[in-house]
Structure 1
């Protein structure tokens, strides 16, 4: 079935025809740096796309349970560390702003219409399926190519940015668990550890017995107009309610 988050009629048709029990909204323009270059498209898909999907579910004869892929980027310029479900948002990108809009629309449809709708505030999660333009995959791919003599340099942006990195497989389990509860709610999914891009680079290159400082150079093209310096999530609520903990650590 082909669907498009920019087409509300299309979404309504799909929901009414399939009548799913659960809907997981993972669709997005998900690259933060690209969102600065394509802010309107990012808002249309990531913000209004969620609203269209919520409205399609709400208007259906059999409203499905709904999971919204919220993001740690909503915290942006963090006001406290670690971040919890009650930490105020301060997004620093068009992507983060769009995700904050979707978060509150999900809460609104839950409270206004009784929809079983949950926000999973997932911090960075990685796997071999990660797109090659994302920094983690970019680093691992470049390091292996350098080791094989296929590449000379790796160009990166801010090496000091710190992120809470986990494994996507663990986080998908948490997403599913949210929709198996008796009541809908919002949960942070994270490892409660924060590591810099510099640490990530050193770890990857060290694994291949390479001195990263010989190969990595800073390219201003990869710097964001406004940076998110530090993210670290407190997943205590998910641990207590969902009985969830990450199995894979940094």
Structure 2
């Protein structure tokens, strides 16, 4: 006995289309599948052509939504699209993660590559802070949020290293030029960062004795560390 895959109408004399649907359901299902497929294909093309992350993510969401609309047909074994809607959903959830992480990786790599050639780390620190804001912005879009947690920690670590090394470098430069007050100010800033910033402290704690020795040599005063 013939049974429509969509409405479950059945009967010995029920005529079914090649899609396994009755004459009432077939045009509706075919139209829905056709429209969703067109939008999905357009979105795939836009993702490939666009360099704008927001556009790419928006189109990934469109593909996921349209695939979810087709999912009930797949569950009833009605032909829809290739890959199947369930496969597209999984594929583009992962695609979103890949796009976000690729963009963050590119931004971080670009900044890190500038570090050895920059005497002024302030613009780099500003760019790293912007990257932190970018990570915060796109984290809700991620399926696997542990990825951005790792990037966030790495970016914080890079900022900490830049800030600390900037003050240490400026202190050494000022000391070489006999600009004692300026040297002291930068040593104080470096010591303050170690004492107050957990990330800096975890990386540069072994520098404390050397910094304190230089402060003493320059006639400075050491205060008790706020984390002691």
Question: What is the TM-score with the length of structure 1 in the denominator?
Answer: 0.29
Q: Larger radius of gyration, structure 1 or 2?
A: 2
Higher fraction of helix? 2
TM-score scaled by structure 2?
0.31
